[in-house]
Amino acid sequence: MNTLLESSARSRVPAKGIAKALTALLFALPLAAFAQDNPKDRQETTEVFRLAHVTQQNDMNDLLTGIRNVLGPRARIYPNSTQSAIIVRGTAEEIEEARKLVVELDKPLPLYKLTFTITQLEDGKRSGSQRYTLLAAENQKAELKEGQRVPVMTGKASSDDASPQMLVSYVDVGLNIEAIFAGSSLKTKIEESAVADEKSTVNIQDPVIRQITLSNEAIITLGKSATLGTFDIPNSTRHREVEVLVERVQ
């Protein structure tokens, strides 16, 4: 009996020691974690990085996301779009890492020359062509407009006078080209409009606008012409062919 009691007493001594050690460890871990995350232990500075090439809001958001993902949650990064700058607050190591990232990410976008050729054909033979050239940064929309503004009567202004004034708005008539080039993909929208010979059946003073739209997305090889599409000209045997040539400028 005494032997069993002695054995039981000896077995309880290590258990108490382990319990004390575990308790001390549990109290120590939160304190150590708090000390590690305590901002007072961080030697932080603030630096402003001016951006030379990142001007679009989407590009600014991508740059901020990239820097935040690399530096982690403890560094604080703020945009200043009006000054084309970002503000970084963190340790010296984080500031230096942010500087390297800004140098790598704040670079000019590739610039391309887009040459559109619109050729008119009649009975299978070329009868004339027009060429338009746009400069476009990668993933940025380039736009060209050529034409005139046609007045359209929209109603009468209320007035106490016997002869009320007519309200007039203007419609753009001519050629409109929009293009976005991204890597090898070219998105285009080409609209061509003109005043038709026929008269409006609603208001004889209003012109009838004839319009043709070509909108597509094509894979383009740099330095090689590609046909975007063709369309017929109403009430004639003519049709037009649209080609594009994309060349890298820088």
Looking at residues 130-135, what average pLDDT do you find? 93
Read off the tokens for 103: 């140098």
Q: Which comes out higher in pLDDT, residue 23 or 243?
A: 243
pLDDT class of 200 with cuts at 50, 70, 90: low
If 0-12 CB within 10 Å is exposed, 13-18 middle and 19+ buried, where does residue 125 land?
A: exposed
Read off the tokens for 90: 């963190």
Looking at residues 17-36, what average pLDDT do you find? 46
> Is residue 246 predicted with pLDDT exceeding 50?
yes
Q: Which domains does the chain have, with CATH numbers?
A: 39-105 (3.30.1370.120), 111-248 (no CATH)
Long-range contacts of 77-85 (CB under 8 A, 24+ apart): 80/48, 81/57, 83/50, 84/50, 84/51, 84/52, 84/54, 84/55, 85/48, 85/49, 85/50, 85/51
Question: What is the C-alpha to C-alpha distance for residues 238 and 102, in angstroms, rounded to an integer?
Answer: 54
Q: Find, among 30, 27, 71, the residue nearest to 49 by Cα.
A: 71
Residue pLDDT, tens place only, 90-122: 999 999 999 999 999 998 888 999 999 999 888
Query: What's the whole-number average pLDDT of the chain?
Result: 80
pLDDT class of 126 with cuts at 50, 70, 90: confident
Q: Which residues contact 209 (CB under 8 A, 6 or more apart)?
A: 150, 171, 173, 193, 194, 195, 196
Task: Work out whether the CA dihedral 198, 202, 206, 208 comes out positive or negative.
Answer: negative
Residue 201: the pLDDT is 64
Predicted TM-score of the model (pTM): 0.63
Residue 208: the pLDDT is 77
Looking at residues 81-85, what average pLDDT do you find? 88
Residue 165: the pLDDT is 67
Residue pLDDT, tens place only, 27-75: 444 444 434 445 567 799 999 999 998 877 888 888 999 999 999 999 9
Q: In what order do the strands lie in the sheet with 141-156?
A: 141-156, 166-182, 185-199, 207-219
> Is residue 226 predicted with pLDDT exceeding 60?
yes
Q: Is 189 left (phi over 0), alpha (psi -120 to 50) or beta?
A: beta
Residue 186: the pLDDT is 95
